[in-house]
Amino acid sequence: MEKGTQHNYDLGKKAFDEKKYDTAQQYLEKVAVERAGYADVHNMLGLIYYEQSRFDDALKSFHKALDINPSYTEAALNLSVIYNELGRFDKSVEAYGLAKQGRTGAHSYLDPYVKGKLANMHADLGTIYKDLGFYTEAVEEYKKALRLRPEFVDLKTSLGVVYRDLRDFNSAVRVLQEAVGQNPGYPSSRIQLGLTFYVMGQHEKAKTEWLKVLREHPRDRMAQMYMNLLLSPSSRP
C-alpha cells in the first residue's frame, strides 16, 4: 500500500475503532477511491452508512466487500441485517446463507494491506539472512515476499542484489532488468543493475545504466559515486 493510502487507512481504522464515524468516513472514503481492493474498508464504510440510515449506500458497500472477498462472513451478516430491516426477507436469507457458508469452497483471501505487511515481514527476514551470509535462504524469503506483492519493485531489486551476492549474475541481471522495466523512475534498480554489470567486467554497460540515473536524478550520490569508480585507475583494463 502506498504511504498516503496507508496513512489514510490507519487514521480511518483508528477513528472507526473509536466510533468517530464522521472522521473515519473521511479517511476510509479516500482509501476506497485510491485502492478499490480492500474488503474491510468497504465493510467499515457500510457500517458507517448504516449508522447514518443511508441504507442503499450501506448495501452497496457490503456487496463490494463481498465482491472482493466472497468469504467475508461479517460483511455477509451485515448485509443480512439490513435486508431484514428493509423487509427484503428473501435477500436477507440469501445473505445469511453466505455468512453460514464462510470459507467453504472459497479461495483463501488476503486483504492487499495485509499482503503488504506479510511481504515486508518476509523481506525483513530476507535482509537478516543476507546480512548473515545465508544468501540462498535470503532468495527464498524475497521470493515469498514477491509472490504476495509482485508490484513492490524494491523487493525485486533486493532479490537481484542477493543473486549477485550468490554470483548468479544471469539471474541478477534478469531480475534487475525486470525491476527497471517495472518502474524506470526508481533509481535504485538501475544503480544495482549497473553495479552488477561492473562486477561482471562489463563497464560500458554499467556506465550506461548510471548515466541514465544521473540524467533523471543529477544529484544521486550513489550513481555519482559509482561513476567516479569507473574513472579510477583500478577500473581501467
The pLDDT tens digits for 1-31 are: 445 788 898 899 899 988 899 999 999 999 9
160 falls within a domain: yes
Q: Report the CATH number at residue 205.
A: 1.25.40.10
| Judgement on whether residues 84 and 154 belong to the same structural domain of the protein | no
Judgement on whether residues 97 and 116 belong to the same structural domain of the protein: no
> Which range, 39-48, 88-97, 106-115, is most confident?
39-48
Mean pLDDT of 157-162: 95
Flag whether 106 is in a domain.
no
Q: Is residue 107 part of a domain?
A: no
The whole-number average pLDDT for the span 20-48 is 91
Answering whether pTM is above 0.85, one says no
- With a cut of 70, say whether residue 163 has pLDDT above it: yes
Calculate mean pLDDT across residues 179-205.
94
What pLDDT sits at residue 90? 80
In a domain? residue 9: yes
Query: Contact 31/61 with Cβ under 8 angstroms?
Result: no
Dist. CA 18–CA 13, nearest whole Å = 9
pLDDT on residue 121: 87
Q: Is the pLDDT of residue 205 over 60?
A: yes
Q: What pLDDT band is residue 103 in, cutting at 50, 70 and 90?
A: very low
- Please say if the pLDDT value at position 110 is more than 80: no
Q: What is the mean pLDDT of residues 79-100?
A: 78
Would you state the pLDDT for residue 236? Answer: 52
| Predicted confidence (pLDDT) at residue 97 exceeds the cutoff of 90 | no
Contact 149, 116 (CB under 8 A): yes
Domain boundary among 81, 101, 121: 101
Domain span at residue 7?
3-101
Residue 111: per-residue pLDDT: 62
- Percent of the chain predicted with pLDDT > 70: 89
* Residue 165, CA distances (Å) to 50, 73, 105, 185 in order: 55, 46, 43, 24
> What per-residue confidence (pLDDT) applies to 73?
79
* Sequence-distant (≥ 6) Cβ neighbours of residue 177 within 8 angstroms: 193
pLDDT range class, residue 120, cuts 50, 70, 90: confident
Return the ∠ at Cα 83 (arms to 80 and 86), rounded to 5°.
Answer: 150
133 and 40 share a domain? no
| 156 domain-assigned | yes
**Residues 199, 169: contact at Cβ < 8 Å?**
yes
- The mean per-residue pLDDT over the stretch 151-160 comes to 93
